[in-house]
Structure 1
Amino acid sequence: MLYAHLEAYLAATVAKPARFVLALSGGLDSRVLLHLMGRYLQAHPEAGCKAVHVHHGLSPHADCWAERCAAWAAEAGIMIEIERVSLVLGKRMSVEQQARDARYAALQTHIGPGDVLLTAQHADDQLETVLLALKRGSGPAGLSAMPQRMAFASGWHLRPLLEYPRAAIEQYASEHHLDWVEDESNSDERYDRNFLRHQITPLLHGRWPGIRKAVARSAALCGEQEALLQELLADQLSEAISADQSLDIAGLHPDKPGSERRGKALLRYWLAEVGVKMPSQAQLEQVWHSVLLAKPDANPKVCWGEVEVRRFRQRLYVVQPWPDVSSSILPAVLNEACSLPSSLGSLLLAESKDGQLRLPQHDEPISVRFEPAGLEVQPVGRVGKRKLKKLFQEYGVPSWQRRRTPLIFYGEELAAVAGLFVVKAFAGKECDLTWHYEQE
């Protein structure tokens, strides 16, 4: 039954030839999916598949699990890679969430264009996910739970077993004499999902045997409603969001009566588009009232986790945490790219027949710096000198980017600010300055 379903599902869902990446924890569910994929590859040799086991290092048995996964993958004729990840414990985020985020981040590195990630969640997992979403007070997006198919990295993420209960997977494992690893943490009811699995869902199944299917239908309906709302608001979001992923406040029409409901929905879709963790309802209220509706001269922000939403010149920005680079001094060489720290890309000062800068003299070593304090210069085309802080304001550089903007020095004198201007005293036509930087 399971194999026939898998084969039919992949035939209807995946373009051929396909390359699959199977997430293999070694537990019952992924062990069964590995066996199923071994059979699938025998029947469809044109397909490619590799398994990836993510080694979290949380259990004393983690090394043994990795070895057993490698052995099972070899039996199935599937190559395997072991990805070791480290978790930073002690933060407010749960161990479960950190492990999940680290796992998917590791899996993402194995997904090329059009590749298909396979994971082994089933109908009981879906029920637990919906219950956890209810516990958090989630809306339709959260209650839509786990889709059977979704975009992932540059490929797709499929959950081919999502329609089947755990009992069907156990039956398959028994029929094919499969063994698997048992994570001792699965019995620890301090974890919410384990509490639901051991204490709550057995009662629900006993009272309402059809609850898995009923909850799956509700989740699917929530997903449809969420998709429809996104479709209806897509054009408005496209008009409001810019290339740097900031959001135009005017596009939310906060001054119009009745705009708050639609505006908050646009905020949620914008945050999803930017790819940050969704805020709680209370935090979203703060973004709307404390940031979006603040006085024009205010510099408000709302933080959750490691994310900040800030406003600058009637636009909203998501600001990620970055290490302080203001004390960095990087030597640079003419005609050679200079790699910048903190995901700032690279800078190239190259000779050119139609540039904006003069060549540096022999006694003017080139360097890249980031500290604007105390600097006073005159940009080309401007009258008189001004403090760099004031110039940043005039050029519309948000406050949190001002110590992340590369400053090019000839010797101890500022010659140019990347992406903004050349200092008048260093103007010329011998050099061109290029900053290769994709804003996060």
Structure 2
Amino acid sequence: MLYHDFSQFMTTHIQSPQARCILALSGGIDSRVLLHLLARYVRDNQCPAMAVHVHHGLSSFAERWVERCREWCAEEGLPFQVAYIQFDTQGKGLEAAARQARYQALEHYIDEGDLLLTGQHRDDQLETFLLALKRGSGPKGLSGMAASMPFHQGRLIRPLLHCARAEIEAYANTHQLSWVEDESNQDTRFDRNFLRHEVMPLLVERWPHFPQAVQRSAELCASQEALLNELLQERFQAALQPDNRLSVRCLLDCGEAVRAQILRMWFHQFGHQMPSRVQLEHISHQVLQAKSDANPRCRIGNHEVRRFAGYLHYIPVYADISDWQCQIKFNHPVELPDGLGTLTLAKGALLTECATEKQVEFGLDKRCLSMPLWVSFNPEGLVASPVGRKGRHKLKKLFQEYRIPSWQRRRMPILLCGQQVIAVAGLFVDEHFSGSDYELIWSTDTSALAHQCQNWDV
């Protein structure tokens, strides 16, 4: 019966013969049963599939789990991959951090149209619902896990979501499957384990159909959330810009309830952590309604909401690279920190060879190369005279005039000779060093942002 339901589910969700099925294989009983079911389905239908095990390194048995998963995939005839990850728990608990890192690792295996299979079942849905209830969630949180949802370039599907844990255990025993037991699953210091071992048995003993009732409630909440989103879609699209900025004016024209829902819709499209009610209120009151010369922000996990030039931006929390410095020489690309690309001093002829790259070019006089040059990201105390401007101006003032967002102002490479600014990559060359002998080339997507910023409305 379980395989019949699984087969029907898969046939419904596979939209193309080329779509691959990628199984997230932890090695626990749920994903082990899913591996067995998927292998049977592949043999019956000849669809491409593979399994991926994410190695967190949290358990002393992690290497043993890798080998067991490898053995089971070999027995079932499915390709097997291991994704090794490291993560930190800054701003979140261990469970949440591990889950986020796991899904980020799995994204690398999902191409357009592929399906990621995970093993959550009805009892997991009950736990998720109760955790959302504990957090005081609204319809979005209480809708729990969806049987199918967009994921990266494909979709994430949960074929066992309507199955009870008891059904999965019965299937595993009937087919004499083995699996691994994660010792951390018994640790009731974790909220989910506490619910699983201490709370849910009491609820189900008192009300045997409680899991099914919760499943119906979750589906009703999902339906209400979908209705809200449909009704507000026109307003949301009016506020949303092509680069995912959100119009402050459009948001302030809405009532608080509508504004909060539009913000939730905005966060949902990023696929990251959803803000709490307190965070939404902070965005609505402190960030949206801040004075025009303020620099408000609201941190949500590893990202933050910032306001600039009449729009909300959702950006990563960047590392502080103000103290970074590196000498730069002719035709020797400098690798910039924190994924900011490369900076190169080159002759103009190089530009035709690199025409397809996203880059910003500036002309420099050959006198520059007679001095030791450095790259820095700290504008503190520096002044410059951009070509076409009269007088010398502090970089802080120039960044404001060029409408560079505050969070980008210490992420733009500054070319220096001592404390003399030669150029700011992406913005200008100092008039005393302007020429046509060499080019300053910043090869990175971020450099395009500098020019875009100049066209934003204040």
Change over 3 Å in CA distance of 1:418–1:244 after alignment to 2: farther
Residue in structure 1 matched with residue 454 of structure 2 by the alignment: none
**Alignment-mate amino acid for residue 227 of structure 2:** L
Q: In the aligned structure 2, how far is the partner of 1:436 from the partner of 1:259? A: 43
**1:352–1:432 CA contact under 8 A, matched in 2:** yes
Give the 3-state SS of the residue equivalent to 1:405 in structure 2. Answer: coil
Q: Is the 8 A contact 2:363 2:438 kept in 1?
A: yes
What pairs with 1:329-348 in structure 2 (closer than 5 Å)?
A: 329-332=325-328, 338-348=334-344
Find the aligned partners of 2:291 and 2:364 in 1 and give their Cα distance. Answer: 44
Residue number in structure 1 paired with 2:266: 270
Secondary structure of the 2:119 match is coil
Return closer, same or farther for 1:275/1:422 CA change in 2, 3 Å cut-off: farther
Partner of residue 82, structure 1: 82
Checking the alignment, whether the CA contact within 8 Å between 2:364 and 2:440 is kept in structure 1 is no
Give 1:4-19 correspondences, 5 Å limit: 4-14=4-14, 15-19=16-20
- The one-letter code sitting in structure 1 at the alignment partner of 2:79 is M
Does structure 1 residue 119 correspond to structure 2 residue 118?
A: yes
The 1:420–1:8 alpha-carbon spacing in structure 2 relative to 1, beyond 3 Å, is same
Q: Is the 8 A contact 1:364 1:411 kept in 2?
A: no
Q: Give the conservation status (yes or no) of the 8 Å contact 1:360–1:410.
A: no
TM superposition shift of 1:217:
2.4
Equivalent of residue 319 in structure 2, options 316, 319, 323? 323
* Seq. identity, %: 48
Between 320-329 and 173-182, report the one with greater CA deviation: 320-329
Tell me what 1:66 maps to. 66
Instruction: Please state whether the residue corresponding to 1:303 is helix, strand or coil.
Output: strand
Among residues 433, 440, 454, which one is paired with 1:426 in the alignment? 433
Alpha-carbon distance, 1:145 to partner:
0.9
What pairs with 1:277-356 in structure 2 (closer than 5 Å)? 277-332=273-328, 338-352=334-348, 356=362
Does 1:360 pair with 2:359? no
CA separation of 1:36 and 1:282: change in aligned 2, threshold 3 A: same
Q: Which runs of 5+ in 2 are unaligned?
A: 352-360, 450-458
Deviations 1:68-97 (A, max 9, x none): 2211111111122223333446x5622221
Q: How far, CA to CA, are the matches of 1:435 and 1:243 in structure 2?
A: 24
Distance in 1 between the 2:226 and 2:443 partners? 35
Counterparts in 2 of 1:348 and 1:263: CA distance versus 1, 3 Å: farther
Residue 120 of structure 1 aligns to which amino acid in structure 2?
G
How far did residue 17 of structure 1 move? 2.8
Q: 1:60 to 1:429 in 2, by over 3 A?
A: closer
Counterpart in the other structure of 2:150? 151
Tell me the residue number matched to 1:390: 397
Q: Matches of 2:209 and 2:82 in 1, distance apart?
A: 38
- Closer, same or farther: CA 251–349 of 1 in aligned 2, 3 Å: farther
- Residue of structure 2 in register with 1:33 after alignment: 34
Q: Give, in whole Å, the separation in 2 of the partners of 1:372 and 1:88.
A: 30
Gaps of 5+ in 1: none
Quick one: structure 1 residues 304 and 116, their matched pair in 2 at CA, closer, same or farther if it must change by over 3 Å? closer
User: 1:431: Cα distance to partner?
Assistant: 4.9
Deviation at 1:214, TM superposition (A): 2.7
* Cα RMSD (Å): 2.6
State the TM-score, normalizing by the size of structure 2: 0.86
TM superposition outliers: structure 1 runs of 4+ over 6 Å: none
How far does the alpha carbon of each residue in 1:9-59 deviate from its partner, in whole angstroms, 9 at most, with x for none? 2111112132121111111111101111111221223x2222112222323
Post-superposition offset of 1:129: 0.8
- In structure 2, relative to structure 1, the CA distance for the partners of 1:181 and 1:326 (3 Å cut) is same
Q: Secondary structure at 2:23's aligned position in 1?
A: strand
The Cα shift of 1:114 comes to 2.3
Matching residue's letter, 1:118: L
Q: 1:331 to 1:261 in 2, by over 3 A?
A: same
How many Å separate the matches in 2 of 1:38 and 1:283? 44
CA distance in 2, matches of 1:390, 1:242: 27
1:58 and 1:136 map into 2 onto residues whose CA distance is 26
- Give the Cα separation in 2 of the matches to 1:298 and 1:382: 27
Does the CA contact (< 8 Å) of 1:308 and 1:319 recur in 2?
yes
Provide the C-alpha distance between the structure 1 equivalents of 2:429 and 2:381, rounded to a whole number of angstroms: 18
Distance change in 2, residues 1:275/1:32 (3 Å): closer
Q: Does 1:417 align with 2:424?
A: yes
Give the equivalent residue in structure 2 for 1:218.
Answer: 217
CA distance in 2, matches of 1:239, 1:384: 42
Q: Which amino acid aligns with 1:156?
A: R
**Alpha-carbon offset, residue 315 of structure 1:** 2.6
Give the counterpart letter for 2:27 in structure 1: G
Match of 1:381 in 2: 388
In 1, are the aligned partners of 2:32 and 2:179 still within 8 Å (CA)? yes
**Counterpart in the other structure of 1:186:** 185
Q: Structure 2: how far apart are the matches of 1:211 and 1:391?
A: 63
1:267-291 Cα offsets, whole Å, 9 max, x none, are 2222333444222111211121122
Query: Residues 332 and 201 (structure 1 numbering): CA distance in 2 closer, same or farther, change over 3 Å?
Result: same
How far apart, in 2, do the equivalents of 1:214 and 1:81 lie?
38
Q: Which moved more, 1:410-419 or 1:64-73?
A: 410-419
* Secondary structure of 2:366's aligned partner: coil
TM-superposed CA distance for 1:205, in Å, is 2.7
C-alpha distance 192-17 of structure 1, shift in aligned 2 (>3 A): same
CA apart distance, 1:147: 0.8
Contact 2:362 2:428 in 1 (8 A): no
Cα gap change, 1:351 to 1:411, in 2 (>3 Å): farther
Worse-matched range after superposition: 306-315 or 114-123: 306-315
Deviations 1:295-326 (A, max 9, x none): 33333333344433332333323343222222
- Count matched residues: 435
Residues 116/304 of structure 1: CA separation in 2 closer, same or farther (3 Å cut): closer
**Aligned partners of 1:75, 1:101: CA distance in 2, in Å?**
30
2:56 corresponds to which residue? Answer: 56
